Every structure is written in structure tokens, then in C-alpha cells.
Amino acid sequence: ARPICHTIEEILSFQHCRKLTCLRLWYNQIAYIPEHIRKLKGLEQLYLNHNKILVLPPQLFLCNKLRQLDMSNNEIREVPPEIGILQSLQYFAITNNCVETLPNELFFRKKLKTLKLGHNKLGALSPRVSNLTLLTTLELKGNRLEVLPLEIAECTALKRN
């Protein structure tokens, strides 16, 4: 009989996971992301939405091939500046969390096409949003934004919903 995995550490510690490119662990009551995540060097898509995660650890951003990162519906309070390491990031969703501010480093991810920030506690959007010239989807509803920066007009690829 095969052993049953009880923790996310057990799953990620398997040797055969080194070549993993897509990991979907949504709806699993996961409370934290273990340091082992850094070993998944080939990871391109990570879906940890609908869990109980509080913190995005720096080790997560050592998975520097990540193109899609979905952390929606957790209890995350902050996006660390290490997100700037993810040069290939095209899709970032952090909808339905408790994020109050965004690091400037996020706005230097030039390949970003989808940025989902809805239903957080954001009070402002950085004028640096203008750096995201490939952005086609920007979700902001359900935040504390009273105004948008004029620079948003420079995101000419944005599509209306």
C-alpha cells in the first residue's frame, strides 16, 4: 500500500516534484506555505486560492519561473517586495484578502497581463501602474479606493469589463 500524505510538506518534499510545472492546491485549509516550495524550480503555475494562508514567504519567490500565481481567498495582509523577483509573472490574483498596500516591485513586472486585487483594503493604487503596459485585466472592486491615478490611462491594453 502507498503511504498517504498528511501535510503540504510531505507533498512538496517528494523528489519527483522537482519537475512539476503546475500545482493546484485550492480548497485545502492550508495555513502556510513551507520553505520546501523553493525546491520546485520548474513551477510555472501555482494555485493556492481558497485556503487559510496568512503570509507569502520569501522562499515562494525563489520559484522564479512562476507565470501564474493565484492567492485569492486567503487571509494575506501583505505582498512582499520579493514579488519583484518573478520576472515571468503574467497573472497575479490576490482577490479577497486583507492587503492594504502593494510593493513598488509589483509594478516592475512588465509581463503582467492580469492583476486581480479586488476585495482587499487598498486605499491607493500606485501611479507606477503605468509601467504595466501589457495589462489587459485590472480588478480593483471592493477596496477603499477613492481615486485612481491619472497614469492608469497609460495602460492602453486594458479591456473594459
Give dist(CA 38, CA 52) in Å, integer: 20
> Which secondary-structure segment (H or E) carries 131?
none
Residue 18, pLDDT score: 74
Residue 96 contacts residue 72 (beta carbons within 8 Å): yes
> Which secondary-structure segment (H or E) carries 117?
none
Give dist(CA 97, CA 78) in Å, integer: 9
CB within 8 Å of 52: residues ≥ 6 apart: 29, 30, 31, 74, 75
Task: Give the global pTM.
Answer: 0.91
pLDDT per residue rounded down to tens, the chain (161 residues) = 555 555 666 666 655 677 889 999 999 899 999 888 888 889 999 999 999 999 999 999 999 999 999 999 999 999 999 999 999 999 999 999 999 999 999 999 999 999 999 999 999 999 999 999 999 999 999 999 999 999 999 999 999 87
Give dist(CA 2, CA 4) in Å, integer: 6
Residue 19, pLDDT score: 83
Sheet strands side by side (includes 91-93): 22-24, 45-47, 68-70, 91-93, 114-116, 137-139
Give dist(CA 131, CA 102) in Å, integer: 14
Biggest CA pair distance of the chain: 61
Residue 8, pLDDT score: 67
C-alpha cell at 8: 503540504
Give dist(CA 6, CA 15) in Å, integer: 17
CB within 8 Å of 85: residues ≥ 6 apart: 61, 62, 64
